[in-house]
Amino acid sequence: MDKTWNNKAWFMVLPVLLLVAFSAVIPLMTVVNYSVQDTFGNNQFFWAGTEWFEEMLHSDRFWQAMARSLIFSFVILAIEIPLGIVIALNMPRSGWGVPVCLVLMALPLLIPWNVVGTIWQVFGRVDIGLLGYVMNALGVDYNYVNDPLDAWVTVIVMDVWHWTSLVVLLCYAGLVSIPDAYYQAAKIDGASRWSIFRHIQLPKIRRVLLIAVLLRFMDSFMIYTEPFVVTGGGPGNSTTFLSIDLVKMAVGQFDLGPAAAMSIIYFLIILLFSWVFYTVMTNSGSER
């Protein structure tokens, strides 16, 4: 669609601009402000330069939290994306099954995040939870409160439970939009199930898949509420992801300087990914 050049369109964008500026730019400036200053209380601040940033980039705590977040995100992607594709491929395409599947699958997406945490906290408990009880009855030594590995497994299974549906819904939407003619052509050629997937379905859902990958990466990279409710970052620090560490530092210990510096580094990473995301999206749109 040809768009006309019209700078008056700014007036239509203005409300959005003001609103988002109010809730994004001002808070961000506060963070920047803290990140370059030091305080001894009483609201007296001193210029600290890049001190906090250097401290952050040299602290083990920061890099460990970062490593945990990255590992978590990659494990999540490795499980949720293939699983989502397989389920989307096997979803019913017509009839009463469609709305039922869609509604049931979308259900976890609409549960408040801390309730998701609560559900799994209860479900995994050894004494009152079905999962924990069954696991122990089967002779598996499972206790997410004490064992770091079990805590990780619980958090990952919880995230798979919570967000795989997003991947499923995205892929499903991509699959239903493939025109019938493609399948007919494949049928005439006698294509196998696998080659239909490989050469028709996969290229056609490539774009939604990309969106799914990037959304899941970014959202899992900033996950906070669910693991916080289930494990509280423990046992020890084993499930303390970047955002949990950040909130701990900012709200718990009131180390505003380091927390602000960390926020900015964190935000820049997200910004980098958003930029990649945006570039890839706009490019793949104009390619075809």
Partner 1 sequence: MADANVTSPRAGSLPAPGPAVTKAGSGDVARAMRRRGDQSRFWWLIPAFYIAFLILPIYWLVNMSFKTNQEILGTLSLWPRDPTIHNYMVIFTDPSWYKGYINSIIYVVLNTVISIAVALPAAYAFSRYRFLGDKHLFFWLLTNRMAPPAVFALPFFQLYSAFGLIDTHIAVALAHCLFNVPLAVWILEGFMSGVPKEIDETAYIDGYSFPRFFTKIFMPLIASGIGVAAFFCFMFSWVELLIARTLTTTNAKPISAIMTRTVSASGLDWGVLAAAGVLTIIPGALVIWFVRNYIARGFALGRV
The interface with partner 1 within residues 188-207 (CB under 8 A) comprises 193, 196, 207
| Residues β-bridged to residue 47 | 37
The residue (of 152 and 174) whose beta carbon lies closer to partner 1 is 174
170 lies in the site for partner 1, by CB under 8 A:
yes
Q: Which residues lie closer than 8 Å to 150 by C-beta, 6 or more apart?
A: 142, 143, 144
Give bridge partners of residue 45 from the DSSP assignment: 39
Binding to partner 1, residues 216-275 (CB under 8 A): 218, 221-222, 224-225, 229, 243-244, 246-247, 250-251, 256, 259, 263, 266-267, 270-271, 273-275
Query: Any idea what the Cα angle at residue 43 is, between residues 38 and 49, rounded to 5°?
Result: 20
**Ramachandran region of residue 97, left (φ > 0), alpha (ψ -120 to 50) or beta?**
alpha
Q: Which is nearer to partner 1, 48 or 200 (CB)?
A: 200
User: Nearer Cβ to partner 1, position 36 or 259?
Assistant: 259
Q: Does 155 bind partner 1 (CB under 8 A)?
A: no
Work out which of 41, 42, 47, 179 binds partner 1, going by CB under 8 A: 179
Candidate ranges 55-63, 138-146, 148-156, 167-175; the one touching partner 1 (CB under 8 A): 167-175
Write out the binding residues for partner 1, residues 91-130 only, by CB under 8 A. 91-94, 97, 99, 101-115, 118-120, 122-123, 127-130
CA distances from 104 to 109, 110, 173, 211 (A): 10, 11, 16, 22
Q: Is 160 helix (H, G, I), strand (E, B) or coil?
A: helix
Q: How far apart are CA 220 and CA 184, in angstroms?
A: 39
Binding mask 48-77 for partner 1 (x = CB under 8 A): ------------------------------
